[in-house]
Structure 1
Amino acid sequence: MQAVEKRISLFNSLAQSVMNSHDTNFWLQKINPLWSVNQPLAKIVKKQIVAKDTVSLILQCNRHVKHGVAGQHHPVTVEIAGRHYERTYSMMQLDHDHLCLTVKKVDQGVVSSWLVEQSQVGNILRLGQPYGDMQQYIQTPHLLLLAAGSGITPMLSLVEGLSQSKQLQTTTVKLMYWVKTNEDAAYIDYLTEITENFPNFSYQVFYTQAQDQRLNQAYVDQLENLDNTTVYACGPSGFAVTAEALLSHAAEIQTEAFSLSQFDADLTDTGFINVTLTKSNKTVAIPKGQSILSSLEQQGIKPNHGCRMGICNKCACNKAQGATRNLLNGAANQEPTQLLKICVNSAQSDLVIDL
């Protein structure tokens, strides 16, 4: 294997000396679709249905893929009908060469629908630099994982990472997992196997269509040792906000939201706000209460962005003046010279931002 890699490396060096990387990649991928001088690529080698509208894709990675840390997210770029689309997913590292990507189909979701319904073994995906703060650096003897819907994917990555690092032998881990119905629950066999192999691990599944099954104070009252517990929560923004409010007295809590819930919008947020873009030398009027990123896109302005969830920081820019409100937690910010994530903030007054 090392001899093969050395020959490829020598070929890459020679190729780069006579042609650019784009041309080199083109010809390398005629031989092997995973070969590249600089692109982090992965090939689907197995596809399996794991729940309703949810698939598991086993990916074989080339040497340029950065696996990151358990719990982080990867930008994933796919080509659909001649166009490239980037979305963000959390992945589970299986070994040095393979990742597991779990995808749930989202209504009107171009990429998730393609991955669930049309992707095939042999398809090539391009992976970006992993990012995210929800990582397996646990400083307390107890860990509580709260997941709703697709929020299970970073939790699975964390559990697998703790299993591989043997931390499940010393850290008490409890997973609480909310889904709509029984057929929406993914990886139950895997979770059961972890429970059998690690006595410190336990999990519960709750069905939100049943009465009083959503995350509420009654569940929190049953939890012990919260002052010595790290809490990770991932789900829709409403779930993340509720978790942060109910468990604020835990030793540490981190939350991530993968969507903006409709009820987060303030019904009093009406009218328009003037936003001055200093780099573009433009001033535009955008609706008050909506994501600044989405509002600018509706004006034909295309700011740099990635996850649209407030995690990757690709859309962050400097705010020189003005008031904003975070759409994930409702927090207001009137301070100048602040870094502003325009995908998860709305304008509350006239703004000046560095775009």
Structure 2
Amino acid sequence: MHVVQRKSQTLDFLSGSVCDSNLLNFWMQKINPLWSTRQILGQICQKEYITADTVSLKIRCSKRMNFGIAGQHHPVIVEIDGRRLERTYSLTQLDEQHVKLTLKKVPDGRVSTWLCETSKIGDVIEFGQPYGEMLPQNYDDKQLILLAAGSGITPMYSMLYALAKSGELANYQIHLLYWVKYEDQAAFVDIFEQWATTYSQFTFDVFYTQSETATASRLNEEHAQEIENLDHKVVFACGPSGFVQLAQQVFQDAKFFESEAFSLSPSENTEVGTVQVTLTRSNRTIEIPKGQSILDALENANEKPISGCRMGICNKCSCHKVTGTTKNIATQSENSEPGSSLRICVSSAKSDLVLDL
């Protein structure tokens, strides 16, 4: 006990001293790759392909890890070609020291490609603090409908895994509806089948929308109509923004509806022309195209605004909009209110803007 206290006191002294923290972290990680004065680090200890394009990484976490609540998202930071890149993923806590990170390779996605193809056992990654409000614990109701498309299955799996591990899954009535294109893209089906056998009140359906044998329909109103007493149930939806928007319309009669979009659905940009964006902190005016996310446009102009999930959830890119009109790329809603908060990763410019950046 005294040895642990002395080590902790030594690290506290060193981290608060005049030593350069980056240099200190460098030498600490030569001794133990998970030691850091400030970072939350994890080391990959197992890597497994669970579908044709989906990988599960088992990661041993440092003692600084904040595991959060099952279903929340964590910023994941990796270094690729000398650049620190951050993306957001759902984690499944396996025990007091390990998490499972399951992700699908995204075409042209630098982080997902690195994690799926390049990462290897022993590599170290960094985590941020968890966030997200799509949690069963937020509701007294125990009748849940879970809607997932593609990688949107990962927070659902995390919630279900935690409920099963604690024994609470037996107290819930849950129906999971899961959409993927092909049979070899469906993740966790074996464990879902086990839970359906063990827990009579857990049921699930997988819809293969581009299968060669039997093509299932995409999410539509019939799926909601088949659910009894929808107005007594809580609906969680996770997937691309287009899927989430449709789910909110289709399940509008649910007692409660919560959703998170993990990516923006591709949409045709029909807007033409450019606008002027004035950044008050850097005292710079930049010409950017209409229809493009403000974050992407600023990065293309060699600005480096703070960002995180790039899907409008974590709020890291939020800034103060002084004047101007913007459009939410996910919902298509416009905002001309001066002095409002703006998430630049999911917003495009409709007029000249002044931003507190």
Which residue of 236, 246, 249 maps to 1:245?
Answer: 249
Decide whether aligned partners of structure 1 residues 227 and 296 sit closer, same or farther in structure 2, where only a CA change above 3 A counts: same
Which residue of 296, 299, 307 maps to 1:297?
Answer: 299
Q: TM-score, normalised by structure 1?
A: 0.93
1:49-88 alignment, distance < 5 Å: 49-88=49-88
Which residue of 324, 333, 337 maps to 1:331?
Answer: 333
Identity %: 49
Counterpart position of 2:188? 187
1:20 is displaced (CA, Å) by: 4.0
Amino acid at match of 1:238: G
Tell me the SS of whatever aligns to 1:258. Answer: strand
Contact 1:319-1:339 at 8 Å conserved across structures: yes
Contact 2:149-2:243 at 8 Å conserved across structures: yes
Deviates more, 1:156-165 or 1:285-294: 156-165
Aligned equivalents of 1:336, 1:19: Cα separation in 2: 45
Counterpart position of 1:221? 225
Decide whether aligned partners of structure 1 residues 324 and 118 sit closer, same or farther in structure 2, where only a CA change above 3 A counts: same
Deviations 1:222-241 (A, max 9, x none): 11221111111111111111
Contact 1:215-1:243 at 8 Å conserved across structures: yes
Decide whether aligned partners of structure 1 residues 185 and 212 sit closer, same or farther in structure 2, where only a CA change above 3 A counts: closer
1:86-97 alignment, distance < 5 Å: 86-97=86-97
1:4 is displaced (CA, Å) by: 6.3
Deviations 1:21-54 (A, max 9, x none): 3333222222221122322111111111111111
Deviations 1:197-218 (A, max 9, x none): 3222111110111545211112
Aligned equivalents of 1:4, 1:153: Cα separation in 2: 40
Amino acid at match of 1:229: K
Count residues with an aligned counterpart.
352
1:243 is displaced (CA, Å) by: 0.6
Aligned equivalents of 1:131, 1:340: Cα separation in 2: 19
Counterpart position of 1:207? 208
Tell me the SS of whatever aligns to 1:343. Answer: helix
Which residue of 273, 287, 290 maps to 2:289?
Answer: 287
Contact 1:319-1:337 at 8 Å conserved across structures: yes
1:135 is displaced (CA, Å) by: 2.3
Decide whether aligned partners of structure 1 residues 354 and 13 sit closer, same or farther in structure 2, where only a CA change above 3 A counts: closer
Amino acid at match of 1:275: V
Deviations 1:49-107 (A, max 9, x none): 11111111011111111111111111111223333322211111111111100021111
Contact 1:141-1:228 at 8 Å conserved across structures: no
Contact 2:224-2:230 at 8 Å conserved across structures: no
Tell me the SS of whatever aligns to 2:310. Answer: coil
1:113-262 alignment, distance < 5 Å: 113-136=113-136, 137-210=138-211, 211-262=215-266
Deviates more, 1:45-54 or 1:204-213: 204-213
Contact 1:77-1:125 at 8 Å conserved across structures: yes
Q: TM-score, normalised by structure 2?
A: 0.92
1:18 is displaced (CA, Å) by: 7.2
CA root-mean-square deviation: 1.9
Deviations 1:173-194 (A, max 9, x none): 1111111101001111121222
Counterpart position of 1:12? 11
Tell me the SS of whatever aligns to 1:203. Answer: strand
Q: Any unmatched runs of 5+ in structure 2?
A: none
Contact 2:87-2:310 at 8 Å conserved across structures: no
Contact 1:139-1:230 at 8 Å conserved across structures: no
